[in-house]
Amino acid sequence: MTNEITIETDFPSASAGAIREIGPRRFEVDYKPEILPDWFQAVLDRFWDGGGVPKEYMFHVRVCNNTDMPQETTLRFLFSPVGQSYLDLPWWMRCEGPWQPLESVELHAINGDGPHLDATISLAPREIMSVASAPYESPETVDQWTRAVATDLPDWTTREIGRTAAKRPILALESPPRPLRLLASATMQGCEPTWMGLLHTARAWASDDLADLSDRVQLCVVPLTNPDGLAEGFSVINGVGEVPKFSTHLASAGEPAPLETQAMWDYLDQLRPQARIEMHAHFTDPNFTRSIGMHEVEAMPEAIRPMGRAVERALDAHYHSEGSTNRRVRIDPRIDEHDVYGVREMAERFGIVEIFLQAIAEDLDDHNADVLACVTTVASAMIRPA
C-alpha cells in the first residue's frame, strides 16, 4: 500500500477484512468474517439452506490522503455470499459534519470477479473521509447523544437496562409514565443504525405538536441494543460471537442468554409495553424502500388481538410516503421457520404487539421522518384500538 493513500480500520465501528492495493490508487476491501454459533447455523441450515439471516453486510473504513495534492481513489468492496443482498444503495461518506449519501457508487452483479461495489472518491489535500455501508457512529457517541436528549427534555430520563461483555451500557430513554407504553428499539443487528431516527422521534415526542399522543402514551427508546457488535464491526453477532437478536427463546426459558438479549427481556418484563417497534435500516431490493413486518394477528394471544388489529389497520391506512413502496411481512410463529424471532414469547409472556420497520434511509432527514411516522401511527392506534 503506497503512502499517498492509506485506509484505516483501527477505530470503533470500523469493519473490513483484508485490504489490497490492486492498482494506482485502487484498493480492494474484503468483508470482515463473522462466525456464527453452531446452534444458530444449524437453524439456518434447517430452514433456509444455510441462508436466511445474512451476516457480513457491514463496511466502514477511513480513507486518508497523505499528500498536499488532491487525490482520487477507487475502493472495491467485496461482498460475502450471505451478505450481498443486504448491501444495496445508498452507501455513505463523511469528512466533517453529518453523513451524506455517497454519489459515485456502482453496484456490480455477480460476475467473474464476484459481487462487489466500486466507490470512487475525491479527497482534498490531507483530507480523511469515512466511507461506509451505513452512517455509523461509535457506541460511546450514541450514548452521549442519548443522555443529551434526556438532559434537554423536561421530565425525560435515561435508564441503564444492562451491560455488555465489554461493559458498555445499554440505555433506555423514557418519556414521563403514562397508562399506555410504546417501546421503539433498535434491532440487535448492530450494523443497522437507527439511533438517529429514534432520537429524532424522542425530541419530536416532547413537542407541542404531539401533545395529544405524549399525554397518553409513554414513549421509551433504546437507541443501541448491541453496542459491542457495532463497535467490533459485526452485522449480527455481539463482541463474543453470540447472536442476541435470535436468542429470545433462551431468555424466556430462563437459560443462559447473551447479555444484550437478557437485558432487553428484563426490560420488557419491567416495562410491559402494549406494543414494540423494532427498527431496522438495510436494503434487500432496489424496488422497495421500506419493509414493515408484524406479528400475524390470528397467531397472537386472544387478549391482544384487538390491539393487533388496530395497529395493522393503522399501518395499512395511514403509513405511506410518496415515492416509497411498503413491503408487508407477516411473522407467524405457528410456522416453524418464523418461530425464531421471539414474537411468540414476548406476546405470550408480556402481551406485546410486535412490529418491525425497515426504515427509509435515502438521507438522514428521510430516515428520521420515516421512523417518526411509524411511531406516531402505532401510538395513535394504541389510543383508539376499537
Q: Give the strand pairing for 217-222 and 290-295.
A: unpaired
Same domain, 301 and 157: yes
Q: How far apart are CA 187 and CA 36, in angstroms?
A: 18
pLDDT, one tens digit per residue, over 146-181 is: 999 999 999 999 999 999 999 999 999 999 999 999
The SS3 assignment for 300 reads coil
pLDDT of residue 172: 98
* 102: CATH: 2.60.40.3120
Query: The C-alpha cell of 36 is what?
Result: 456464527
So what's the pLDDT on residue 2?
60
For residue 363, what is the DSSP state? S
Question: Do 69 and 218 belong together in one domain?
Answer: no
Q: Are residues 266 and 322 in the same domain?
A: yes
pLDDT score recorded for residue 324: 64
Q: What pLDDT shows up at residue 16?
A: 98
Q: How many domains does the chain have?
A: 2
Based on the domain organization, do 113 and 154 belong to the same domain?
A: no
Q: Could you state, in chain order, the average pLDDT of each consecutive group of 10 residues for the chain (386 residues)?
A: 86 97 93 92 77 84 97 93 84 91 69 76 95 96 98 96 98 97 97 96 96 97 98 97 95 97 98 97 72 92 96 86 73 89 95 92 88 96 80
Domain containing residue 55: 5-132
Q: Residue 88 has what pLDDT?
A: 82
Considering the domain architecture, whether residues 270 and 351 belong to the same structural domain is answered as yes
Cα–Cα separations (whole angstroms), residue 310 to 15, 264, 275, 378, 380 = 41, 25, 11, 9, 9
Cβ–Cβ < 8 Å for 182, 379: yes
pTM: 0.94
Write down which residue in 132, 150, 171 finishes a domain.
132
Please tell me whether residues 306 and 359 are part of one structural domain. yes
Q: What local confidence, expressed as pLDDT, does residue 110 receive?
A: 46
Residue 47 is predicted with a pLDDT of 78
Looking at 100, 132, 164, which one is the last position of a domain?
132
